[in-house]
Amino acid sequence: MDAAAHSHAAPARQVQVAAPPAELAREPLVLNNHSFGWISDAVAGIAEGKAPKWWWPAFLISFGVMATMGGMIAYLFSTGVGVWGLNQPVAWAWDITNFVFWIGIGHAGTLISAILFLLRQKWRTSINRAAEAMTIFAVICAGTFPVIHVGRVWYAVWWLPPIPNAYGIWPQFRSPLLWDVFAVSTYFTVSLLFWYMGLIPDLATMRDRCKTKIRKFFYSLGALGWTGSNRHWSNYEKAYLILAGLSTPLVLSVHSIVSFDFAVSQVPGWHTTIFPPYFVAGAIFSGFGMVLSLMIPIRTLCKLEDVITVRHVELMCKVILATGSIVGYAYGMEFFIAWYGGNQYELDTFKNRAFGPYWWAYWWMVSCNVISPHLFWFKKIRTNMVAVFIIAAFVNVGMWFERFVIIATSLTRDYIPSNWGDFHPTYVDVLTFVGSFGLFMTCFLVFMRFLPVIAIAEVKGVTPQADPHHPAGGAKDGGHH
Partner 1 sequence: MAAGPKTYGIIAEFSRTADVLHAAEKVRDAGFTKWDVHTPFAVHGMDAAMGLKNSKVGYFSFLGGATGYTVGMLMIWWMNAFDYQIVVGGKPMFSPFFAFPVSYECTILLASFGSLGGMLFLNRLPRLHHPLLKNRRFAQVTHDKFFIVIETADPKYSPAATRQLLEAAGAAHIEEVED
* 239 contacts partner 1 (rule: CB under 8 A): yes
Residues 179-198 that bind partner 1 (CB under 8 A): 179, 182-183, 186, 189-190, 193-194, 196-197
**Identified binder of partner 1 from the candidate list 68, 220, 384, 426, rule CB under 8 A:** 220
The smaller minimum CB distance to partner 1, of residues 193 and 326, is found at 193
Q: Where are the alpha helices (DSSP H) in 51-175?
A: 55-79, 94-110, 116-118, 128-148, 156-159
Is there a contact between 96 and 149 (Cβ–Cβ < 8 Å)? yes
Task: Count the residues in the chain.
Answer: 481
The smaller minimum CB distance to partner 1, of residues 152 and 480, is found at 480
**Identified binder of partner 1 from the candidate list 5, 178, 274, 431, rule CB under 8 A:** 178
| Distance of closest approach, residue 43 Cβ to partner 1, in angstroms | 12
DSSP-derived letter for residue 338 is H
| Distance of closest approach, residue 36 Cβ to partner 1, in angstroms | 4
In 3D space, the residue among 398, 407, 249 whose CA is nearest the CA of residue 324 turns out to be 398
**Identified binder of partner 1 from the candidate list 55, 63, 233, 335, rule CB under 8 A:** 233
Residues 28-87 that bind partner 1 (CB under 8 A): 35-37, 40
Residues 244-273 that bind partner 1 (CB under 8 A): 246-247, 249-250, 253, 257, 260
Identity of the amino acid at 132: E
CA distance 115 to 109: 10
| Distance of closest approach, residue 306 Cβ to partner 1, in angstroms | 16
**Identified binder of partner 1 from the candidate list 226, 275, 279, 285, rule CB under 8 A:** 226
| Distance of closest approach, residue 470 Cβ to partner 1, in angstroms | 8
Residue 457 CA, chain-centre distance (Å), reads 22
The smaller minimum CB distance to partner 1, of residues 306 and 458, is found at 458
Burial of 356 (0-12, 13-18, 19+ CB in 10 A): middle
Residues 436-465 that bind partner 1 (CB under 8 A): 457-458, 460-461, 465
Angle at alpha carbon of residue 99, lines to 136 and 93, rounded to 5°: 165
The smaller minimum CB distance to partner 1, of residues 79 and 229, is found at 229
Residues 129-168 that bind partner 1 (CB under 8 A): 162, 164, 168
CA distance 415 to 265: 14
**Identified binder of partner 1 from the candidate list 235, 300, 344, 419, rule CB under 8 A:** 235
Angle between helices 230-263 and 176-209 (to 10 degrees): 150
Q: Please name the helix (run of DSSP H) or strand (run of DSSP E) that holds residue 184, with its range, or none.
A: helix 176-209
Q: Which long-range contacts (CB under 8 A, 24 or more apart) does 302-307 make?
A: 302/46, 302/448, 302/453, 303/42, 304/42, 304/43, 304/453, 304/454, 305/31, 306/30, 306/31, 306/32, 306/34, 306/42, 307/30, 307/39, 307/42, 307/43, 307/126, 307/454, 307/459
The smaller minimum CB distance to partner 1, of residues 119 and 371, is found at 119
DSSP-derived letter for residue 19 is P
The smaller minimum CB distance to partner 1, of residues 82 and 468, is found at 468
| Distance of closest approach, residue 226 Cβ to partner 1, in angstroms | 7
Interface pattern 323-342 for partner 1 (x via CB under 8 A): --------------------
- Site size for partner 1 (CB under 8 A): 73
